[in-house]
Amino acid sequence: MEVVKNLDIKRYMGKWYEIASFPSFFQPKKGENTSAFYTLNEDGTVHVLNVTFVNGKKNSIEGTAYKADPKSDEAKLKVKFYVPPFLPIIPVTGDYWVLYIDEDYQYVLVGGPTKKYLWILCRQKHMDEEIYNMLEQKAKDLGYDVSKLHKTPQSDSRPEEEDVPQDKGIWWIKSLFGNRFSSCASGSVVNVSLCIVISIPEVQWNMCIDECKLCVLLYPLPLSQISIYLPHRTGE
């Protein structure tokens, strides 16, 4: 797949607004006012800060981007995030390929080799329909299923980030496993309480995201093992 060559990484830095994207597990569903902020590190890598708002709460995740092949002139990058957002200890790496960017670095098309992810980003909150259609067509020509593109709402009165409550990151778990995991207090027909158990030398944490008192501790796990545990079902 053809990508941008000789990307000026310094010009690429700064804030980008998400105009549209494919749904992904590392972004909350129904996110609004989504943006990405890139900062060049001293070692040549890029600090990544993705921010979105869901139901008035701020969701964010930080990571690091770097060239997949330092010797190549192609804009094929890797981005490493640590998840889950509420306890960022598990590294997850993905591809970040710059497929197209305009001469003024005002709008960009980003994807990857699997064609499972796609982003249309812009320096402004809103994009001219003509430009959007052009980027959509470029993605289609590259083999992307553009019917999966979801436009991201961008309001002119975006809330000040420091004035809104932070989401604890439970959206990340729900995005992986769907609506099977509902609150223990919801009274649903089937309730599943999700616990994450982390075991490292001499220390073990058991965190139930629903704060359900019925959850039980696991027997000690192998050192440095991380697992997701479904301890019980209620209301059946």
Sequence-distant (6+) residues with CB within 8 A of 140 are 146
Q: What is the mean pLDDT of residues 27-35?
A: 85
Asked if residue 232 has pLDDT above 90, the reply is: no
Average pLDDT along the chain? 75
**Average of per-residue pLDDT across 74-89:** 82
State the pLDDT at residue 54.
87
CATH number, span 9-163: 2.40.128.20
pLDDT digits (tens, 9 = 90+) for 137-150: 999 999 999 999 99
Closest CA to 19 of 9, 5, 29, 33: 33
Residue 101 pLDDT > 60, yes or no? yes
- Tell me which of 166 and 113 has the higher pLDDT: 113
Please give the Cα distance from 104 to 98 (Å, whole number).
15
* pTM (two decimals): 0.70
pLDDT, position 44? 95
Q: What is the pLDDT of residues 169-185, one digit of tens each?
A: 544 444 444 444 333 33
- Split at pLDDT 50, 70, 90, the class of 228 is very low
Report the pLDDT value the prediction gives residue 150, as an integer from 0 to 100.
95
For the cut 50, the answer to whether the pLDDT of residue 213 exceeds it is no
Mean of pLDDT values over 3-7: 98
Domain ranges for the chain? 9-163, 181-234
| Cα 193 to Cα 214: distance, rounded to the nearest angstrom | 9
pLDDT band at 212 (very low <50, low <70, confident <90, very high): very low
Nearest one of 148, 176, 156, 140 to 20, comparing CA atoms: 148
